[in-house]
Chain A
Amino acid sequence: MSKLRNGAIALVAATAVTALAACSGGGGAAEPSTNPDGSTNLNMWTFADVHAAYYEAMAEKWNEANPDQEIKLEVTVYPYDDMHNKLQLALNSGEGLPDVVDIEVNKFANFVKGSTPPLMDLTEAAAPYRDDVVQARLDLYSKDDHVYGFPTHVGAFVAFYNTELLEGAGIDYTTIKTWDDFREAGSKYHEATDKAFGVASTGVNFIEPLITAQLGGEYFDADGNVQVNSPEVVEAVSMVQEMQDAGAVSTIPGGSPDDEQAYGAINDGDYAAIVYPAWYTSRYVDYMPDLDGKIAIAPAPAQDDAVVRTIGGGGTGTAIPVASPNQDLASEWLAFAKLSPEANVAVWEELGFDPVNMSVWEDEEVTKNPENKFNKYFQTNLFDVLNEVKDDIGHLPSFSDPNWPAVDNTFTTVTLNDLYENRVPAQDALDKAQSSLQNELGQ
């Protein structure tokens, strides 16, 4: 029995020692990040392979231009949703943080809550490029006039028209300027072909915020209280419902144009007009090969008295946690990698996004390059459209509200379905959303 007792005591002791060792742990001192060759290690997290390849290319360019400030970038691609959860945990604990991190726009506001956000103020780093960069996109990742993230693209809403189908129905897309024009054209097309014209999305909340911004509305009041049943939002949603009644917009398989099922439907010619952010160009090129040469890009519809013609939709803000021991160098590199003209050329040529640095928009060697796959695919040039609305690209501050993710979630899971699938009147559906959000947010 003594052996037995000793064994039991040893087991307990071992457990206790392990537990104690675990509790006492070393301090969380920042690991040295400078290598013997003078280069600095920068860890980066992202959620898309294409981003990783882009940043690695930008690191190379940086090292060529700044041999005295070389960086060794290590990019880790995590699963999309879970990367944000991991980041939240790391920021909460202050441990295991990267030097640079991509944050999806809908999640960004979560990370700049409170008076001392855990992300570095990048205002100074942005300064050299500020005049050329679309202000609305910096505003998206700003709080109290401090920039906390750099944008990847403008994502300006534009309209993509399938000219072959429209011509078949006797519609000239260049005559569509306002939402009324859009509704009339859609109605005419629907009557002529019995097919859908535009899209009423139930899985993405895009057109409604666009129209709301054009009407000068917001989803939150000045005090940050949710007001999704404000007159402008009700009007915006009613406009889409009226378009649906007129046959100008219809729901789409997959819930939004940015879904594999929807790509198939659009590619098959089931939908003729898509109003979506400019980055949708890459979806056409990658997923809708049959429409090559048939799609024209035009400015998104807007009423004559619109407060702004268009806004940006979607996006990724890249940020630097304040806990990063390399934040000064990281911020310089990040400004170069996301805001500089050379970086923005790559954003267009490699990723197919509308770049935030407007100096690129004027560079015809880049924008009119006949070899560019996007220029080859589309009938009209994206940059001609962007230059047309250049001074009128607005920002919907609601997108930057810390509670926007909750609003977006309610709309894409309940409200938009109520509106376009169940045909609940706009005011009723939005009142219900308002009440549900007030409960959820404790307002």
Chain B
Amino acid sequence: MVAQQPVTQDGPPQQAGPAEGDRRPRRAVSGDGPRFSHTAGAWIQTGFLVVIAVIALVPLVAIFVGTFQDGNDVIRRGMSFDVDLGGLSLVNYAMLFTDSGPYFRWFGNSLVLTVVQVVLTLLVSSFVAYGFAMYDFRGKSLWFVMVLLVMTVPFEMLMLPLYVQVNDMGLADTYTVIVLPFLAQAVTIFFFRQYFLGIPKDLLEAGRVDGVTEYGIFFRIVLPISKPAMAAMAILNGMICWNNFLWPLLVLRSPEKFTLPIGLNTLLTPYGNNYELLIIGAFFSLIPILVLFLAFQRYFIEGMTAGAVKG
């Protein structure tokens, strides 16, 4: 009896179900241990990410503030947040829009080249990848291994023969030669292939049954469901093209054809550096990449992870 009392007081055995049911939400609400660790973990995680974000943002903020200051002064003092608010001015902005020489020409050149190169690279590379993923042909594995091997060859090794070749072909100092050699990007092909492998072949068959051509299947069925992959590759290739320096430098000879990275670098000379234009020019050069990323970011993570796990 004595032993039964507490049981009765706590609740009859038949109430165990509802009691457990009661206890579950209670544990969730009043269970300090698990909730604390979960919250603390979230805080630590958030704090860590905030620190990383601050580290990433500090240079951006510094360069933004620098656009309102005297360039030489910025360099002289280094990255400092001891900003004299009275000393800030829009002089550099006025200079950028009225007296920055060929800056916007460089900017425009880079923009056009980036757009053209990204669109063509996505098209050509996805074509190649589609072939590898969806069709069977003789020597397919060998060809694919060759594509992978290309990924292991650094550009510095290809530079000299490529330079001689484009000179012999009379293509030097043209925009064509900046874009052409890099349309079939091994990394992009590999990424697209992995992504396409995750697309059920039944979809293609369904298209064929309905009488869609092979190109139609690619453009009307595969491409629309590959937006995440396209977006991810657009961002990556866009960044590579926008920042491309060495190859355009080697093949371009006319100053009016220079791209932004080359042009900005010409502002650094042994006789003194044009920091005013360099700082505000570098800041404005962030904008296209920022726009590209913001436009495609919702696909970006999805595309990257999809490409990573499938295949």
Please list the residues of chain A having a beta carbon within 8 angstroms of any beta carbon in chain B. Answer: 3-5, 7-8, 11, 21-23, 25-28, 43, 47-50, 76-80, 82, 86, 89-90, 92-93, 95-96, 104, 260-261, 263-264, 282-283, 286-287, 314
Contact = CB atoms under 8 A, between A and B. Distances in A.
Q: Interface residues of A: mostly helix, strand, loop or mixed?
A: helix
B135 A43 contact: no
Contacts of B262: 78-79, 82
A260 B72 contact: yes
Given A3-B214, A7-B214, A27-B168, A48 B269 contact: yes
Interface stretch (B18-26, B159-167, B187-195, B299-307): B159-167
Nearest to A11: B131
Given A7-B214, A76-B254, A89 B131 contact: no
Given A76-B253, A82-B249, A92-B160, A26 B170 contact: yes
Contact of A48 (B128, B265, B271, B275): B271
B137 interface: yes
B253 A96 contact: yes
17 contacts: A4-B214, A11-B128, A22-B165, A28-B167, A48-B269, A48-B270, A76-B253, A77-B255, A79-B262, A90-B163, A95-B164, A95-B167, A96-B251, A260-B75, A260-B275, A264-B76, A287-B272
Q: Which 8 A-B pairs have the closest CB atoms?
A: A25-B168, A79-B265, A95-B167, A48-B269, A264-B76, A260-B75, A25-B169, A93-B164
Interface string B29-72: 00000000000000000000000000000000000000000001
Nearest to A261: B76
Contacts of A5: 137
B291 interface: no
Contact of A8 (B137, B249, B273): B137
A93 B72 contact: no
A87 to B, nearest CB: 11
Contacts of A90: 163
A80 B253 contact: no
A7 B137 CA distance: 11
B249 A23 contact: no
A271 B88 CA distance: 29
A50 B271 contact: yes
A27 to B, nearest CB: 7
Contacts of B127: 11
A263 B72 CA distance: 10
B126 to A, nearest CB: 13
Q: Which has the most chain B C-beta neighbours within 10 Å: A5, A28, A89, A286?
A: A89
A4 B159 CA distance: 35
Contact of A43 (B167, B250, B253, B269): B253
Contacts of B141: none
B89 interface: no
Q: Interface residues of B: mostly helix, strand, loop or mixed?
A: helix
A79 B268 contact: yes
B167 A96 contact: yes
Contact of B266 (A7, A22, A77, A260): A77
Interface in B159-210: 159-160, 163-165, 167-170, 172
B307 to A, nearest CB: 22
Interface in B235-274: 245-246, 249-251, 253-255, 262, 265-266, 268-273
Contacts of B250: 86, 89
Contacts of A82: 245-246, 249, 262, 265
A8 B143 CA distance: 12
B220 to A, nearest CB: 16
Contacts of B170: 26
Contacts of A23: 165
Contacts of A43: 253
Contacts of A314: 270
A287 B137 CA distance: 68
Given A50-B271, A80-B268, A22 B169 contact: yes
A93 B268 contact: no
Contacts of A283: 272
Nearest to B251: A96
A260 B76 contact: yes
B31 to A, nearest CB: 58
Q: Which has the most chain B C-beta neighbours within 10 Å: A26, A43, A96?
A: A96
Given A76-B253, A79-B266, A79-B268, 8 more contacts: A3-B213, A4-B214, A8-B131, A11-B128, A82-B249, A89-B159, A264-B76, A287-B72
Contacts of A96: 163, 167, 172, 251, 253
A93 B163 contact: yes
B109 to A, nearest CB: 15
A47 B163 CA distance: 21
A49 B266 contact: yes
A78 B137 CA distance: 48
A247 B273 CA distance: 32
Nearest to A283: B272
A77 B262 CA distance: 10
A286 B172 CA distance: 38
A408 B167 CA distance: 34
A399 B72 CA distance: 31
Contacts of B213: 3
Nearest to A77: B266
Nearest to B262: A79
